[in-house]
Amino acid sequence: MLRIVFYYFYGLLVGYFFMRKFYFLSFVVGALLLLSCNKEKVPRASFIYKQDKGGIVTFTNTSAGVVDELVWSFGDDSPLSSEVAPQHRFIKAGTYSVSLTATNSAGSNTYTESIDIVAGVQLSFNDHPRFKDASGYFYARNIYEFDPGSPLVFKQVRGSAVAALYDSTNFLVSVGKVNVNGDLLEHNADNSYAKEGKDSSWYYSNPSLYWSADGGNGYPAMVENVPFDFPEISGIITNALLRSDSLFVLKLAKTVNLADSVIWLIEYKGETMAEKHTAGGVNGVVFTKAELSKLVNSGNYTSKVIAFNVVRKTHNFKKVYYTKESYTEADLVVR
């Protein structure tokens, strides 16, 4: 009997110590599993991109995991970027190795992809004249604002200037400092040049127009005194259009004088819906229903008239166009 009691209590004691050890091991394993689940993992870097004209590429970060920092390298010796979706312009054609590094407290990961930048169509500059054989442009424009009630008298005139010189792959290149009538143009990141008058304190008076550029990237130093006057322009007097009409006349208050050519535009939210070109000496143009086929939405449009004179010069076998432009615009309601 005593032997049975002894073995009974002995079994209870062994079981007690065994269960304590089991629970302790279970606790340790559970804690380790919990810590491993909460530990931050290294992110996985990735991106997608969309190419546009003129070497412009828009990148979008698609990295997986927790990301504390992003670093973009575009492979063209330009500064690094930390933006989530940077837009970058490559100024020469070629193959570029673009990399994105994603970092958090656990470490970093880098994704790299090769991007081919090929020569393409020259970037257009708003509504300025274009010429098929051009390697460069020097645009000078007077922008006239008219009172709708007095389309023969302008309220304000201000000047603008744009210079754009291309290489053989249709990328803009630097030509050093560029001046118009002694005023320095701003050299933009894409290698275009621009100056914009804020009011009537800066505009072009006839007939003086003097351009100068230092030269570079295949262009010599350029100094040109552009002849001719700026065209004479008046306000737009047609302000409504019915889509049911078979014809629409875009008309100025008086005839355009002293102009080689005139561009007539109808735009909707910055996109050209209809465009016609005429010689100077007219005060309007007729758009047919077929030419207005893009005007599918009713709403507020913009009509524009650009009258210009142009002279072409050759610099190191490159054809460069110099313009004198007079510009006006008006609201156009389409019903």
Dihedral pair phi/psi, residue 29, rounded to 5°? -60, -45
Q: Is the bond leading into 207 cis (omega within 30 degrees of zero)?
A: yes
What is the pLDDT, as a whole number, of residue 202? 95
| Cβ atoms 268, 304 nearer than 8 A | no
Q: What is the pLDDT of residues 45-64, one digit of tens each?
A: 999 999 876 788 999 999 99
What is the pLDDT, as a whole number, of residue 204? 95
Tokens of residue 3, six digits: 């032997």
Q: Which domains does the chain have, with CATH numbers?
A: 47-117 (2.60.40.10), 136-334 (no CATH)
* Residue entry with tokens 């019915």: 242
What is the pLDDT, as a whole number, of residue 205? 86
Closest to 82 in 3D by CA, of 67, 64, 95, 97: 67
Mean pLDDT of the chain: 88
- Sign of the torsion formed by the C-alpha atoms of 209, 215, 219 and 223: positive
What is the pLDDT, as a whole number, of residue 196? 95
Which amino acid is present at 269? Answer: K
Distance CA 64, CA 85 (A): 15
Tokens of residue 122, six digits: 């020259």
Q: Count Cβ neighbours within 10 Å for each residue of 86-115 and write b for 16 or more, e otherwise.
A: bebbbbebeebebbbbbbbeeeebebeeeb
Alpha carbon of 310 to those of 37, 181, 196: distances in Å? 71, 17, 20
Question: Global pTM?
Answer: 0.72
What does the pLDDT profile of the chain (335 residues) look like in tens digits?
A: 444 434 444 443 434 444 454 444 454 444 444 445 557 899 999 999 998 767 889 999 999 999 999 999 999 999 999 999 999 988 888 899 999 999 999 999 999 999 998 876 676 777 999 999 999 999 999 999 998 889 999 999 999 999 999 988 888 899 999 999 999 999 998 899 999 999 999 999 878 899 999 999 999 999 999 988 999 999 999 988 888 888 999 999 999 999 999 999 999 999 999 999 999 999 999 999 999 999 988 999 999 999 999 999 999 999 999 999 999 999 999 99
Alpha carbon of 129 to those of 80, 167, 186, 306: distances in Å? 36, 19, 21, 9
Q: What is the pLDDT of residues 201-241, one digit of tens each?
A: 999 987 889 999 999 999 999 999 998 899 999 999 998 88
Alpha carbon of 209 to those of 135, 138, 177: distances in Å? 21, 11, 17
